[in-house]
Amino acid sequence: MAPHLRKQLVVVGHGMVGHRFVQAAIERGLTETYDIIVLGEEPRPAYDRVALTSFFEVGAEALSYLPEGVYDDPRVSLHLESEVVAMDATAQTVTLANGTAFAYDELVLATGAAPFVPPVPGKDLGNVFVYRTIEDLEAIREASKSAKAGAVIGGGLLGLEAANALHQLGVKTHVVEMAPRLMAVQIDEAGGATLKRHVEDLGLTVHTGVMTELIDGDDDGLVSGIKFKDEDTLPLDIVIFSAGIRPRDLIAREAGLDIAERGGVLVDEDCRTSDAHVWAIGECAAPGGRMYGLVAPGYSMAEVVVDQLLGGEGQFLGADMSTKLKLLGVDVASFGDAFATTEDALELVFADAVAGIYKKLVVAENATGGYELLGGILVGDASAYGSLRPMVGSGMELPANPEELILPAGRGGGVELGLPDEAQICSCNNVTKADIKAAVSDDATLNDGGPCSDAGCVTKCTKAGSTCGSCKVVVKKIVEDHFAATGKVVDKSLCEHFAMTRQELFDVVAVHGYNRFDDIIEGHGKGRGCDICKPAVASVLASLLNHHVLDGENATLQDTNDAYLANLQKNGTYSVVPRIPGGEITPDKLIVIGQVAKEFGLYTKITGGQRIDLFGARMEDLPAIWKQLVDAGMESGHAYGKSLRTVKSCVGSTWCRYGVQDSVGLAIELELRYRGLRSPHKLKGGVSGCARECAEARSKDFGIIATEKGWNLYVCGNGGAIPSHAQLLAGDLDTATLIKYLDRFLMYYIRTADRLQRTSYWMDAIGGLDRIREVVVDDALGLGAELEAAMDTHVDSYFDEWKATIEDPEKLARFVSFVNAPGTPDPNITFREERGQIQAELTDGPVSLGSTIPVGAP
């Protein structure tokens, strides 16, 4: 082998931890002295194995950490499908299965773990799988097409993930666990019983305390069932083993490195093996003889090794094994000494069998006679996890009645405690409360040379909450508390009637299923409401229910525009804007618009959004105008609502010699898909057929620009007083993927944005474009399918509000200027003429107020 002048570092394994090591090496400058060779056994680069189940929804590319397969740093080379079969510690080489050898100065083993398959007879039959890689899932998906029933052997974290996958594929699913409860490593008997009820309520069958004796097969060599000890055979078409993992330590073992008693490459606090030039990180490593089966400890080990190679003193001193996740839609969390193994530990338990909630705190008496938190278990409601977990090991004293920490607010709970500065808030990235406070202090230099001004910036700068996201609520509270303590008051109340943000209000309405303002304010607010909270509630109800805005008592919640399905102008008249998707309109529809304008004496103008606006319509004339437009095949353009306005387009490849894609066709498809979509602020889109960008797509909330391979998707731009350019979310997308990402993006915005918050400001508030990409493209929160389903519900339930109004006599009754003189026009509305058309003119009298009773008086 040719000699090399720079040092050479070889990384064996390109999973999540191997990739994190390479990222840290690049970011911290290790490649200034080392060339890094990464040898990955799988045919694809590292991907999010924690979110493996979402592969069925988002596909492999969305899970990838390195979609291009190449690192930006040219000093790092990645080799896929490169299985290392041997290492020679003396010669300092590793050898691939094809005989190729690589020399190293330093070697990092990140080989991970392999699924454990018990020695059950029949385990080698067809349609028997493990659950570890994307290739495994592809095989499971193919087999499920003809399967009716299947079983997952293993009821731990991985087993329930596999069961979730099988259930989503439409297969009747059984979960088989040898232990007496599900998730036996993380939760106790009572918590396991609660979790079991939740899982069975979803339609799965749970078998606990049973042992699989054998797997039966048919004449074709395929699985036909499994047999439990002393029980009949359970007929099945698929079996998935997810009964734990074992460290992949074979090459280290054969090379003579020290191996832990229970498997795994034995390493010291530096993550160094018994060979001074070989390091091990992640699931293949056993620091102090213990293997860690979670990704967060592996990330910590990766950082330690990079630090050591740079001459630092970083050490791995154990890891927080706390876990919080949503399994099959059920919140589950376990942290600290969850099983009360500490001497003299006490357990405090709250259980609500009806609601399916189980909470346990493990506490111990401290030297002063008070109590400190050792650990806990949360099933069914893990909302307190973010504030409870940092208390473990912090030394802080609990309230005199610690049970207040887990009791519901209405039953003596809901108490809040201040965490000490040294409390670790984000265990994934080792961020303390002090780190978060430092990021927002006046002398901070993190955010473009200055301090962070909100929690989103703190997440971006410190990484607190950027991995699993479970601590983001606590991060936000620390930021708000710090601002309050320094005189910068942060008021998150929607208004004086609701002490919550719009996002919190949205969640309250969604969880409780409210459909009346009175019920919402009675349960969660005070007073009678105002012109801030009433339209906000109306918007939330419209987003969730997609009902007619003039239905019942909710009609009184709207502001003037929504209340009359038209835009109020300065002289008391209204403007009418029919939808013209993509700016494309037939001559016949143009003629009808002209006839309507002429008949009702309206001012006409082509808008910047490629529509025709008809100004000067009197309230009582609105239904008649709508009817002519609806009869001609047109509908409401929702110019009056906080909703989708337009999707602007150029002429694209249909006419333009530069166009590379049909921008008009896509714009029409998107506008028709998202029409009527209610949102915190108005939404605008644009589609350009080539890079010349004639539709100005990057000034929109979502913009699409055609490429030779498909579409580039830009998000969170806007015009207005403070314009913002949209930023690239994903590139070269096919149309189906583009629409999927747009569905997620829009629904994510609708659910989490504040009242009247445009997408550009919302992006900054939630942690920037990277956070949006994590949720929308990577599906880091596992919400992809839910957001897509919410959009599908909107599309399926869409109706034209104009048409529904003119067909409903009760709604039509609203459209008179005076209730006791329906045929009387408002005498205060006058016009003048300019450039051959009417112009609004104001009189000395008030708009819409005469000697009779006005309907629309605010």
pLDDT at position 648: 94
149 contacts: CB under 8 Å, gap ≥ 6: 171, 172, 173, 174, 235, 236, 237, 238
Contact between 439 and 448 under an 8 Å Cβ cutoff? The reply is no
Q: Which of 696, 616, 618 is nearest to 650 (CA)?
A: 696
> Per DSSP, what are the bridge partners of residue 174?
151, 205
Tokens representing residue 170 in the block = 């439409």
CA distance 460 to 272: 31
pLDDT at position 80: 95
Handedness of CA 295, 300, 301, 306 (dihedral sign): positive
CA 715 to chain centre: 16
Amino acid at 848: S
The number of beta carbons lying within 10 Å of the beta carbon of residue 680 is 25
Contact between 55 and 63 under an 8 Å Cβ cutoff? The reply is yes
Indicate yes or no: pTM above 0.75.
Answer: no
CA distance 304 to 313: 8
pLDDT at position 824: 64
List of E strands, 453-599: 567-568, 574-576
Handedness of CA 747, 751, 753, 754 (dihedral sign): positive
For residue 226, the SS3 value is strand
Q: Which of 834, 822, 842 is nearest to 569 (CA)?
A: 842
CA distance 31 to 11: 13
Q: What does 382-400 look like in DSSP terms, one character per residue?
A: -TTHHHHGGGTTT-PPPPS
Q: What is the pLDDT of residues 498-515, one digit of tens each?
A: 888 888 888 888 888 888
For 47, 701, 761, 767, the CA distances from 723, given in Å and listed in that order, are: 36, 11, 11, 19
The number of beta carbons lying within 10 Å of the beta carbon of residue 825 is 15
For residue 411, the SS3 value is helix
Tokens representing residue 841 in the block = 């003119």
The number of beta carbons lying within 10 Å of the beta carbon of residue 253 is 15
CA distance 610 to 605: 10
727-733 and 830-834 beta bridge pairing? unpaired
CB crowding 109-145: b at 16 or more within 10 Å, else e? bbbbbebebeebebbebebbbbbbbbebbeebeebbe
For 279, 531, 538, 805, the CA distances from 563, given in Å and listed in that order, are: 68, 13, 11, 12
CA distance 191 to 494: 37
Q: Which of 362, 471, 361 is nearest to 427 (CA)?
A: 471
Q: Which of 66, 56, 49 is nearest to 784 (CA)?
A: 56
Handedness of CA 75, 76, 79, 82 (dihedral sign): positive
Amino acid at 473: V
Contact between 760 and 691 under an 8 Å Cβ cutoff? The reply is no
Q: Which of 601, 667, 663, 676 is nearest to 833 (CA)?
A: 601
pLDDT at position 174: 95
Longest Cα separation, the chain: 102
pLDDT at position 408: 66
Contact between 856 and 619 under an 8 Å Cβ cutoff? The reply is yes
**Total residues found in the chain within this entry:** 858
Half-sphere exposure of 803 (CA within 13 A, CB side): 14
CA distance 419 to 502: 27
Contact between 619 and 815 under an 8 Å Cβ cutoff? The reply is yes
For 407, 705, 733, 778, the CA distances from 62, given in Å and listed in that order, are: 39, 20, 12, 5
> Per DSSP, what are the bridge partners of residue 703?
686, 714
Following CA atoms 122, 124, 126, 130 in sequence, which dihedral angle do they give, to the nearest 10 degrees? 110
Tokens representing residue 81 in the block = 């499908």
702-706 and 711-715 beta bridge pairing? antiparallel
Phi–psi pair at 819, nearest 5 degrees = -65, -30
Amino acid at 148: K
Task: List the 603-606 sheet strands across, edge first.
Answer: 567-568, 574-576, 612-617, 603-606
List of E strands, 594-726: 603-606, 612-617, 644-649, 683-688, 702-706, 711-715
Amino acid at 342: T
- Proportion of the chain in helix, strand, coil states, percent, rounded to 5: 30, 25, 45
Q: At what angle do helices 157-168 and 134-144 cross, to 10 degrees?
A: 40
CA distance 363 to 19: 38
Q: Is 634 exposed, middle or buried (0-12, 13-18, 19+ CB in 10 A)?
A: buried
Which residues of the chain register pLDDT less than 50? 1-4, 409-415, 843-858
